[in-house]
């Protein structure tokens, strides 16, 4: 059963976002620890706190930085200076940042720490992601690469084809998502790509997985992000009368049978024994967040979604309930998801402008919500922003959504 925003006895279940910080995305060629420490120090400065004030640290792991000797929570704690804080490390692929935020929130609400630092950072390899070497026939990610040849771009292309067949989306519609997001990324000093892109430039870029072209698909990047979370009592005690608050975190798993296969699932015959669920996995992620927050899509001021490809952003519009099934393109064409529209999406520039720094990206989404809800996002500010949602998913069935309010 989802937690309510108010526990019923006057005890709020919200936690405050006291600080947000990022290391710019790019290809810097340095250790991921440097990016995480830079983001952490920026978040601490934003919160007006010192590292010694932090009662616990939660690190979002990167597999590539996990061996030997690197486990994110302790790695960042050591780099900042051992001071006795509780330490937690989590790994959930692209949902790692949301899992880290959820772990931090749980510690705060359990009374184990008043203020917690959450950090994620990555130094990604060149090119698209691929599994590590060796034979692992019990690893679904290895299987979909090695047996099916279903690399990430192949999956993105199949999803785009499905939208074209079912809803009539076109490659130009996909390109317009890139046009929108690049215009926002051009305004974000932390983005890797800060140039506006035209639909003609998308169409002229190389085909990667038909119908998607190179500019339809996000890059892999280096980067870091961090937030400082606290109890509401701690925030008020330190002069934060109306901080941005985390009201819900959804980390749900899928339900069988999953009749719309999501990466990295390959096949299932469980429909023979179990009735199909009434919604897809990604829709269940958003629904759980809305139920916990006591809010709905009609309450949103903005959304930050996981645009691994342009077509997947359109799918998130529907999965978040911003429009009906098959109506994502209409929302885009009407300008509703652009800055100034009814429900701006990815005003940070999204992964289209940042690329993937896996453990950092869900935290970076919350950093953007924090700036927007404070009203300090500059030229990309959503006027009057009061409620925002992030949407994401990690391999192996990790849901990821965070709702923040002001």
The predicted-structure confidence for 172-222, as pLDDT tens digits, reads as follows 999 999 999 999 999 999 999 999 999 999 999 999 999 999 999 999 999
Q: Two tokens at 258?
A: 């999953």
Please tell me the distance from the alpha carbon of residue 346 to that of residue 110, in angstroms, as a whole number. Answer: 33
pLDDT at 273 over 70: no
**Cβ neighbours of 137 (radius 10 Å):** 8
Tokens at 75, concatenated: 């790695």
Chain centre to alpha carbon of residue 195 = 22
Tell me, what's the pLDDT at 361? Answer: 96
Tokens linked to 308: 């691994």
CA 317 vs. chain centroid, Å, equals: 15
Residue of 130, 135, 117, 7 lying closest to 60 (CA atoms): 117
70 falls in which pLDDT band (50, 70, 90)? Answer: confident
Cβ contacts of 265 within 8 Å, gap of 6 or more: 140, 258
- Rounded Cα–Cα distance for residues 222 and 267 (Å): 33
Q: Dihedrals φ, ψ of 307, to 5°?
A: -90, 65
Q: Is the pTM of this model over 0.85?
A: yes
- CA 292/CA 248 separation, integer angstroms: 6
Question: Which of 294, 388, 313 lies closest to 343, judged by CA?
Answer: 388
Distances (CA, A) of 50 to 45, 54, 83, 86: 7, 7, 11, 16
In this prediction, residues 311-334 reach a mean pLDDT of: 97
Domain range 15-127+221-237, CATH class: alpha beta
What is the Cα gyration radius of the chain? Answer: 20
Handedness of CA 59, 60, 62, 68 (dihedral sign): positive
**Residue 3 pLDDT > 50, yes or no?**
no
pLDDT at 161: 96
pLDDT over 70 at 143, yes or no: yes
Domain spans, the chain: 15-127+221-237
- Strand stretches in 183-284, DSSP E: 207-209, 212-213, 222-231, 244-250
Average pLDDT value for residue range 384-406: 93
Q: What is the sign, positive or negative, of the torsion defined by CA atoms of 292, 298, 303, 308?
A: positive
240: alpha, beta or left? (left if phi > 0; alpha if psi -120 to 50): beta
Q: What's the Cα-to-Cα distance from 36 to each of 61, 118, 123, 222, 391, rounded to whole Å?
A: 11, 10, 10, 10, 22
Spatial contact of 300 and 387, defined as CB atoms under 8 Å apart: yes
Angle among Cα 12, 18, 21 to the nearest 5 degrees reads 140
- The band of 265, judged by pLDDT with boundaries at 50, 70 and 90, is low
Sign, Cα dihedral of 243, 54, 250, 342 = positive
Rounded distance between C-alpha atoms, residue 177 and residue 312, angstroms = 10
For the cut 50, the answer to whether the pLDDT of residue 8 exceeds it is no
pLDDT at 73: 95
Confidence of residue 78 (pLDDT cuts 50, 70, 90): very high
Contact in structure between 320 and 389 (CB atoms under 8 Å): yes
The owner of tokens 């979604």 is: 305
d(CA 220, CA 208): 15
Query: Above 70 in pLDDT, residue 131?
Result: yes
């Amino acid at each position: 059963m989802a937690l309510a925003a108010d526990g019923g006895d006057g005890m709020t279940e919200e936690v405050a976002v006291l600080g947000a910080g990022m290391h710019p995305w790019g290809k810097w060629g340095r250790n991921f620890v440097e990016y995480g420490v830079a983001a952490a120090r920026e978040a601490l400065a934003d919160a007006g706190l010192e590292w010694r004030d932090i009662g616990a640290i939660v690190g979002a792991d990167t597999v590539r930085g996990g061996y030997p000797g690197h486990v994110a929570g302790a790695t960042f704690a050591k780099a900042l200076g051992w001071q006795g804080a509780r330490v937690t490390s989590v790994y959930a692929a692209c949902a790692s940042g949301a899992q880290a935020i959820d772990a931090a929130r749980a510690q705060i609400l359990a009374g184990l720490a008043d203020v917690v630092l959450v950090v994620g950072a990555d130094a990604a390899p060149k090119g698209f992601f691929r599994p590590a070497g060796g034979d692992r026939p019990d690893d679904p990610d290895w299987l979909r690469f090695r047996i099916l040849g279903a690399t990430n771009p192949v999956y993105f292309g199949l999803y785009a084809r499905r939208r074209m067949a079912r809803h009539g989306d076109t490659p130009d519609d996909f390109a317009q998502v890139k046009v929108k997001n690049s215009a926002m990324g051009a305004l974000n000093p932390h983005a890797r790509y800060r140039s506006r892109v035209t639909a003609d430039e998308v169409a002229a870029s190389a085909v990667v997985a038909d119908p998607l072209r190179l500019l339809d698909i996000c890059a892999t990047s280096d980067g870091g992000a961090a937030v400082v979370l606290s109890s509401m009592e701690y925030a008020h005690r330190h002069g934060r009368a109306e901080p941005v608050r985390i009201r819900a975190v959804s980390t749900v798993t899928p339900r069988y049978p999953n009749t719309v296969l999501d990466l990295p699932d390959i096949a299932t015959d469980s429909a023979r024994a179990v009735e199909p669920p009434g919604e897809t996995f990604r829709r269940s992620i958003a629904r759980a967040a809305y139920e916990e927050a006591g809010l709905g899509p009609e309450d949103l001021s903005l959304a930050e979604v996981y645009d691994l490809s342009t077509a997947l952003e359109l799918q998130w519009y529907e999965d978040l309930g911003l429009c009906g099934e098959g109506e994502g393109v209409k929302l885009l064409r009407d300008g509703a998801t652009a800055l100034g529209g009814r429900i701006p999406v990815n005003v940070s520039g999204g992964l289209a402008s940042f690329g993937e720094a896996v453990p950092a990206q869900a935290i970076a989404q919350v950093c953007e919500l924090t700036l927007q809800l404070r009203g300090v996002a500059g030229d990309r500010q959503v006027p009057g922003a009061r409620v925002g949602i992030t949407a994401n998913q990690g391999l192996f069935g990790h849901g990821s959504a965070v709702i923040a309010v002001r």
